[in-house]
Structure 1
Amino acid sequence: MKFNPALLLCFTMLLQRRRNRRDKEKQRVRKRPWKLPHLYLHEEQGVFPNLIQELRCNEEEKFRNFLRMPPKIFDELLVLVTHLIKVQNTSFRASISPAERLAITLRFLATGETYRSLSYTFRVGETTIGLLVPKTCSAIYQVLQPEFLKCPQTKEEWKSVAKGFQEKWNFPNCIGALDGKHINIRPPIHSGSKYFNYKQRFSIVLMALVDADYKFLYVDVGCNGKVSDGGVFRACTLDQSMRDRTANIPDPTPYPGDDTPMAYTIVADDAFPLRDDIMKPYPYRSMELDKRVYNYRLSRARRVVENAFGIMANKFRVLLTNIALPPKTIDKIVMASCALHNYLHVKIGNGYMAKVGDSEDPATHDITAGLWRKDPQIEQAALNPGTNPTKKAKAHRDLLKSYFNSELGAVDWQWGKC
């Protein structure tokens, strides 16, 4: 076989071209930065190492407004979640500190800003924020739920809730106010009408039971807005445990001043079914005075759940936006917000919701609307009443109506409020 110089030359040129292409790719990889140029100024110009630390030292009220809690409470919460959100440093770069991770998450909950907006503010990558916010929300719920968002488990705990409703709202044997709210979302791609609700919006439903002090006792979130609203409550573990008699609700107890044992009940609005353990208003048509009195007394006790939703949304305004995240992430955000609401209410007390929630004048018992009512409201979930109420449930409501209109159960101001 003869040697062909032209073939050798072609082969050599192909090899050289391949080497040149490989060298250019290597150079391109070497020149690729770890992060975008503006993110390199994180330590010098980022919000956390500068603005937040300045607010901590000089303007505590501004710090509280920025992160929805004073520095002392922020530090206490940081101690609780650090072991769950801390990331180890590498030889290439330092990780984002637990304090900054918590600050970014709280700012997201407080404002509902997009990840991109937070990226520019904190000089942290958008993808990084998208990973740390759900993880931190899960950590917040995990550490706060056992103590601050615990549903009563014993008869004594349920009786303590009922005592609060009797002392604050003059409603006997009440173990909570129940309601549901729609959390507006941007529907996932290819989800069709799965999350489309009767309000012509896309949503998931938050169902909650609230005590007399506006704290959540039980929350269930994640049911899509298209599901029959009556099925939302029926699918909750709370309803199942009440039907199965496994919730340890106390045995019937006489009302104050009376001797007839009466069951413990939840108060709800007209959209819920009337049951032995759920009291709702009388229909608002041609009502006699005694029924109007009953409706006023029930509404007065039930108002706490509306206020709990409103106060929480006023503090954590992400709940007032159309959240453009996957439904599972939204579940974590809502659960973390509920846990934080209870946590801050316990730690800060009345200062947490001063002027935000409705207030009642102790002398005239007139209601002053809270600031949350001026905000865009979270849509209320209208629930299908479902099956017709039983005779026993109707009789229970009539007995409660008679008690509120008797000398034993009446309050002096009720006649002027109907």
Structure 2
Amino acid sequence: MADVEVVAATAVCLLSVMNYLNVLKRNQKKRRYRQRRWWMKKIHQNRTTNSINTFFMELTSEDGGEFSNFCRMSSTDFEFLLHKIGPIIENSKPDCECPYQQRYVSTPAISQIIPEVCKAINSVLKDQIKLPQTPAEWLSIEEGFRRKFPRCVRAIDGKHIVIKCPPHNGSQYYNYKHTYSIVLMALVDSEYRFIFADIGGQGRISDGGIFQNCLLLQKIDTGTINLPPDAPLPGGEIDVPYVFLCDGAFAIDKHIMKPFPGNHNFNTMERTFNYKLSSSCIIVENVFGILTTVFRIFKKPIEIDIENVPTVTMTCILLHNFLINSRTSSNIYAPPGTFDSIADGVNIDGSWRQNQPNPDNSALRPIARVPRRSPRDIYEIRSEFAHYFHNLNTENN
């Protein structure tokens, strides 16, 4: 009897397992053919039926900051720009109610629309970038740098804007890095705004030629930039000029300060000067950094017609200044923590660095230059700055 009971119990267990497996299989089959459901925003549900105009209306009404995440500006500023450029870029069709009303646009039409819109934006925002014209205007700007680097009026830097090979004349834009490019030379103030941009120099021009052909450098050399007259540093007696700060790739000049070359021991005059200069020049790196992070056309070599590259670049620069100056969009475009900062002598990286493209793939690349030989008195000016910062550092310690 015992053997019969064991066999019966085993059979019952096997039947139970088989029934469980069959039920599990049927449930899996039901789940497989059950209609799946996803949560989707309204703007994406209607993406095949809405026009561009309706898309932006629904984007504004969405919760969670969808509009600001998509446009990187407030709806107020977007409406302002649309109102300004709308009459300039109106579609030629009489039944078009809005310049963004068309739903389907062909590729050839897009290639015409984008430069047209960029030119309209440049026309509307042209006052967003302006080089100071009088010594008083330069002095008001110097206040932003005075705490870190007195007598500094701006930081300057240049970039190669990498492009695709232009047809028929590629050799004119072929640079020493074996890429094709045009040159951007820019001045930046202490508020992370462009105040000057010279775009369009051919990448083939020699390193020294790039620097010499820049309109800004021509103004500096000819004395037509109207800087304030030379004045002593705080507590000093020797007159020093107002200067632009730059990195080591530039050539030192009367109005252009660069770091001392080489490595220097801790707490030396040269090292203190280099630290002060680099902590002020980091503003330029931050401005170019957020430009490549937000305006994604700079994330890789630009593949548009060469004649449109300066226009598109200037549009991005003007929009950068417009959004930095905007009361409603500045925290959307560059929220707190975006730029690098220094706390208790420690450098803190800004959030823009997290999304920075690979420098080898980016459209904005540094310009290398061969320094010019400068008169001896120019090095004496740099030494005067170095003595000032070294004495200041000694007093604070």
Same fold, TM-score > 0.5, yes or no:
yes
Q: Which runs of 5+ in 2 are unaligned?
A: 1-45
Q: Give 2:170's aligned residue.
A: 192
2:107 corresponds to 1:126:
yes
Task: Note the C-alpha offset of 1:369.
Answer: 1.3
Note the C-alpha offset of 1:100: 5.8
Tell me which stretches of 4 or more aligned residues in structure 1 moved more than 6 Å. Answer: none
Does residue 218 in structure 1 map to residue 196 in structure 2?
yes
Q: Deviations over 1:296-346 (max 9, x none)?
A: 000011111111101111111111122111111111000000000000000
Structure 1 residue 367, shift from structure 2 partner: 1.7
1:282 partner SS: coil
Mapping 1:266-305, distance limit 5 Å: 266-286=244-264, 289-305=268-284
What corresponds to 1:358 in structure 2?
A: 340
The one-character-per-residue Cα deviations of 1:46-72 (angstroms, maximum 9, x if unpaired) are: 462343221111236221222221211
**Cα separation, partners in 2 of 1:76 and 1:192, compared to 1, 3 Å:** closer
CA distance in 1, matches of 2:82, 2:289: 26
1:324 match: 303
Counterpart residue type for residue 356 of structure 1: T
Conservation of the 8 A alpha-carbon contact between 1:403 and 1:410: no
Residues 47, 312 of structure 1: CA spacing in aligned structure 2 closer, same or farther, 3 A cutoff? farther
Alpha-carbon distance, 1:211 to partner? 0.4
Q: Deviations over 1:178-224 (max 9, x none)?
A: 11112221111222332222222222221101001110010011112
> CA 1:64–1:220 in 2, change beyond 3 Å: closer, same or farther?
same
State the shift of 1:144 in Å: 1.0
Q: Verify: 1:390 aligned to 2:366, yes or no.
A: no
Deviation at 1:230?
Answer: 2.5
Residues of 1 paired with 2:352 and 2:173: CA distance?
Answer: 26
State the partner residue of 1:75. 79
**TM-score, L = length of structure 1:** 0.76
Q: Which has the larger radius of gyration?
A: 2
8 Å CA contact 1:229, 1:381 repeated in 2: no
Q: Equivalents in 2 of 1:344, 1:95: separation in Å?
A: 29
Q: Is the 8 A contact 2:74 2:332 kept in 1?
A: no
Alignment of 1:24-39 (within 5 A): none
Q: SS at 1:59's partner residue?
A: coil
Gaps of 5+ in 1: 1-41, 102-121
Partner of 1:310: 289
Counterpart-to-counterpart distance in 2, 1:359 and 1:198: 33
The aligned counterpart of 1:334 is: 313
1:401: Cα distance to partner?
0.2
* Alpha-carbon spacing, 1:96–1:287, altered in 2? closer, same or farther (3 Å): farther
Determine the C-alpha separation between the residues in 2 that align with 1:303 and 1:411.
25
Aligned 1:145-156 pairs, distance under 5 A:
145-146=126-127, 148-156=128-136
SS in 1 for 2:186: strand
**Identity rate, percent:** 33
Are 1:258 and 2:239 matched, yes or no? no
1:345 to 299, 321, 324: 324
Q: 1:327 to 1:151 in 2, by over 3 A?
A: same
CA–CA separation in structure 1 for the residues paired with 2:176 and 2:199? 18
| Alignment partner, residue 153 of structure 2 | 175
- Report the secondary structure of 1:83's partner residue: coil
Residue 122 of structure 2 corresponds to residue 141 of structure 1: yes
Report how many residues are paired: 343
CA-based RMSD: 2.3
- Distance (Å, rounded) in 2 between the aligned partners of 1:67 and 1:259: 52
Question: What is aligned with 1:49?
Answer: 53
Alpha-carbon distance in 2 for matches of 1:245, 1:100? 51
* Cα-to-partner distance string for 1:356-393 (whole Å, 9 max, x where unaligned): 321232xx132211233231144433332342121111
Comparing 187-196 with 71-80, which one deviates more in the overlay?
187-196
